[in-house]
Amino acid sequence: MKINAASMKMWSRIGSRATFGLAALEIAKEHENLMVMTADTSTSAGLDRYRKTYPEKFLDVGIAEQNMMGIAAGFASEGLDVFTATFGPFQTMRCCEQIKVNLGYMGHKVCMVGLASGIVLGTLGYSHCCIEDVSVMRSIPGITVISPADSGETVKATLAALKHPESIYIRLTGGMGNPIVYKDDYEFEIGKAIELREGNDVTLIAAGTMVYESLEAAKLLEEENISASVVNMHTIKPIDVEAIERACRNTKCIVTVEEHNVVGGLGSAVAEYKATIPGAPPQMLLGLPDKFGKSGEYRDLLEQYELTAPQIAKRVLGRLKELT
């Protein structure tokens, strides 16, 4: 797939979900062993064209995620390269034990794609929001967890997942008109964080939609004479420990930013490693509070939870003042 300014712009417009569908379409062209599965979610996953073009490489199991993960493992055990795609809560929690036993315990490799995770579906309520998936998935041995920063990175992650040796959960956040983090092609490697901006006061470690917000926050902090590094921690498991060590060496405060419950997600993953570093700087965990609140429009919810760039900048500034 051509990754350039034009394609990045187009993918951003259609959002991560539809971009995943395009990536699958591209992979299927040359990949005989591909099998893409959905649970009555082919349209939601941007797979309408795929379904019509490659019916022999597609299976819809109906609204039955537990069965989907079992069948996926059966396919994988027979040598097929399998993707499954449905909404975040149904892709991770409805079939959690199937993932544990079939993918984790037995090691059958399946690439799972959690659609519209986070709070982008706020108007549909917390049944459809997903603020727990990273926490749940990363507690299962043998599952890699990725949260792409934008639509372009969704393509990168999808292609990388295919070559990855173990099962992987790709968490898609944001809606259509996903802000663009990467305007041009770049090097993407699972497990290797990307420092998007250097800084020596504070490091913002973010994943998913929060990468863009953190970059914008860093610009605002610069106006306040705060030099903020921004790290795209696209792989949450295995976490890039070298990136955490660098952040601890170079800056006085670590801020993790995620569209996920502050319990068990990116912030926790960073804290788990950081706790082993003697004299490591303090950490501020920004994310969604550990409670189900009122639902609503995506941007309203982000504001409510103070996860927009200006709010992030303000909160970081406040914390830095406390620390000095």
- Residue ranges in contact with other proteins by CB under 8 A: 56, 59, 61-62, 64, 66-67, 69-80, 97-98, 101-102, 105-106
CB 265 within 8 A of CB 287: yes
Q: Tokens at residue 279, please? A: 């004299």
Comparing CB distances to other proteins, the nearer of 110 and 286 is: 110
Comparing CB distances to other proteins, the nearer of 84 and 151 is: 84
Query: What is the closest distance, in whole angstroms, from the C-beta atom of residue 68 to other proteins in the complex?
Result: 8
Q: Tokens at residue 65, please? A: 């995620």
Nearest Cα to 309, choosing from 220, 239, 236, 196?
A: 220
Comparing CB distances to other proteins, the nearer of 80 and 159 is: 80
CB 88 within 8 A of CB 42: no
d(CA 191, CA 282) in angstroms, rounded, equals 23
Query: What is the closest distance, in whole angstroms, from the C-beta atom of residue 141 to other proteins in the complex?
Result: 13
Comparing CB distances to other proteins, the nearer of 72 and 190 is: 72
Comparing CB distances to other proteins, the nearer of 105 and 186 is: 105
Query: What is the closest distance, in whole angstroms, from the C-beta atom of residue 41 to other proteins in the complex?
Result: 15
d(CA 255, CA 205) in angstroms, rounded, equals 6
CB 34 within 8 A of CB 72: no
Any bridge partners for residue 34, and if so which? 81
Comparing CB distances to other proteins, the nearer of 79 and 279 is: 79
Q: Is 300 exposed, middle or buried (0-12, 13-18, 19+ CB in 10 A)?
A: middle
3-state secondary structure of 196: strand
Query: What is the closest distance, in whole angstroms, from the C-beta atom of residue 55 to other proteins in the complex?
Result: 12
Query: What is the closest distance, in whole angstroms, from the C-beta atom of residue 94 to other proteins in the complex?
Result: 10
Query: What is the closest distance, in whole angstroms, from the C-beta atom of residue 38 to other proteins in the complex?
Result: 13
Q: Regarding beta strands 167-173 and 202-206, do their DSSP bridges make them parallel or antiparallel, or are they unpaired?
A: unpaired
3-state secondary structure of 253: strand
Give, as one character, the DSSP assignment of residue 130: B
Comparing CB distances to other proteins, the nearer of 96 and 254 is: 96
Query: What is the closest distance, in whole angstroms, from the C-beta atom of residue 10 to other proteins in the complex?
Result: 33
Q: Is 241 exposed, middle or buried (0-12, 13-18, 19+ CB in 10 A)?
A: middle
d(CA 160, CA 167) in angstroms, rounded, equals 12
